[in-house]
Amino acid sequence: MVNQQMQQYEYQLPDTLDTSGSKLVYLYLKVEEEATINELHTALGMKKITLYSLLQTLKATDLVDQEGAIYTPGEANP
């Protein structure tokens, strides 16, 4: 049997995150540090159209940055 260690993360969610989807995407990017739409879709099981909408909202509040196809945590992250 393989002994696996779970990493523990402690993040404070910004007050502007008001949906479970936006919180999930935000936390995923905080932990993974970057992701594409395809990676988010695969990892989170969310529809791409939903992800595009959530990411647009997160970008508008500077919680997510985008460079090409890569999304990263934004400057407004606590």
- In this prediction the pTM is 0.84
Distant-in-sequence contacts of 4-10, Cβ < 8 A, 24+ apart: none
pLDDT given at position 12: 83
Question: DSSP letter at 14?
Answer: P
Measuring CA to CA, which residue among 11, 2, 15, 1 is closest to residue 73?
Answer: 11
Residue 10: how many other CB atoms lie within 10 Å: 4
Give the pLDDT confidence of 6-55 residue by residue, as tens digits: 566 677 889 899 999 999 999 999 999 999 999 999 999 999 999 999 99
